[in-house]
Structure formats: structure tokens, C-alpha cells
């Protein structure tokens, strides 16, 4: 990956709705070579998809929680089962296996506290869950939109 590929990636991250011609102009390439580079970045898996950024508050998802979860057992079956359940929970917008006192860090969005309470009750029903610890985000200072390239 050279400097032009990185510039293309920065442009696509900034605004994926740009046409190939617009990207080509901004990175100093003609349209055909730029299109070939984008196709290669896609086929190499560096660009894994395109998505829209939605406004959480305008969608009524007024609250963000960071939820630490510990499991009772660290065998494959309970881990796989937990990860499957969490993967299907629409309120969980990111999930990470972490080191330290907890096993997972979940980022959860909810309309309000009753919505979040209903979510937590679902977690508490899972037999493999040992402990849940929640932090409420008061205000978002920065959210990771673009990767450094």
C-alpha cells in the first residue's frame, strides 16, 4: 500500500458517498487508476464495507453505557454461547474481549433507563454470566470514526 492508497482510504473514510471521480481528483489520479486501486483495496479486504453514520440522539438512543461482563466459566461452549447472544443483541454496538478484572467490554445504547434495565435483565438471565458492572457515558467527547492510515 503506497501513499496514494492511503490518501484514497482517508477520502473514503471522510465521505464514502464521493464518486470515484471526486476521490481521484482529490488524490491526484485519473478516474480509471483510482477505480482500480479502490477495487484492489476492496478485494484485499482493506475496505470491508461501506456504512452510514447515524445520529443516535435523533434515533431516540439517548444513553450510552459501557458494560463490563465476567463469565463463570472460560470453556469454549459458554464463551461461544455468550458471544452468540451478545452478537444478536441490537443494543450492543461494540463488544470486546478484554484483559483485567472483566472478560468483556460492551458498548450499549438505550432509549432510557427502563430500556437499559430490560437489557441488563437479559444479561442477568444468562447462566454463564458471573458479574456485570456498568458505567454511564455522561457526554461523548470523541467517537472513533476514522482509522489512522
- For residues 148 and 133, the model is more confident at 133
Tell me: do 94 and 128 sit in the same domain.
yes
Q: pLDDT tens digit string along 16-49?
A: 999 999 999 999 999 999 999 999 999 999 999 9
The answer to whether 41 and 8 are in contact (CB under 8 A) is: yes
Q: How far is CA 123 from the centre of its chain?
A: 20
Q: What is the extent of the structural domain holding 25?
A: 3-43
Cα 67 to Cα 143: distance, rounded to the nearest angstrom: 17
**CATH code of 12's domain:** 1.10.10.10
Residue 143 placed within a domain: no
Confidence of residue 147 (pLDDT cuts 50, 70, 90): confident
User: Residues 65, 131: one domain?
Assistant: yes
Whether this model's pTM surpasses 0.85:
yes
Amino acid at each position: 500500500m503506497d501513499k496514494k492508497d492511503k490518501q484514497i482510504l482517508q477520502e473514503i473514510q471522510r465521505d464514502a458517498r464521493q464518486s470515484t471521480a471526486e476521490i481521484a481528483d482529490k488524490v491526484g489520479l485519473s478516474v480509471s487508476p483510482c477505480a482500480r486501486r479502490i477495487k484492489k483495496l476492496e478485494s484485499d479486504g482493506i475496505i470491508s464495507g461501506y456504512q452510514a453514520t447515524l445520529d443516535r440522539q435523533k434515533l431516540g438512543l439517548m444513553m450510552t453505557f459501557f458494560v463490563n461482563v465476567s463469565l463463570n466459566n472460560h470453556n469454549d461452549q459458554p464463551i461461544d454461547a455468550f458471544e452468540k447472544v451478545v452478537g444478536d443483541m441490537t443494543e450492543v454496538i461494540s463488544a470486546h474481549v478484554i484483559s483485567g478484572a472483566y472478560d468483556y467490554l460492551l458498548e450499549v445504547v438505550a432509549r432510557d433507563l427502563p430500556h437499559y434495565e430490560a437489557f441488563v435483565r437479559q444479561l442477568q438471565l444468562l447462566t454463564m454470566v458471573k458479574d456485570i458492572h456498568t458505567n454511564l457515558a455522561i457526554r461523548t467527547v470523541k467517537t472513533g470514526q476514522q482509522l489512522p492510515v
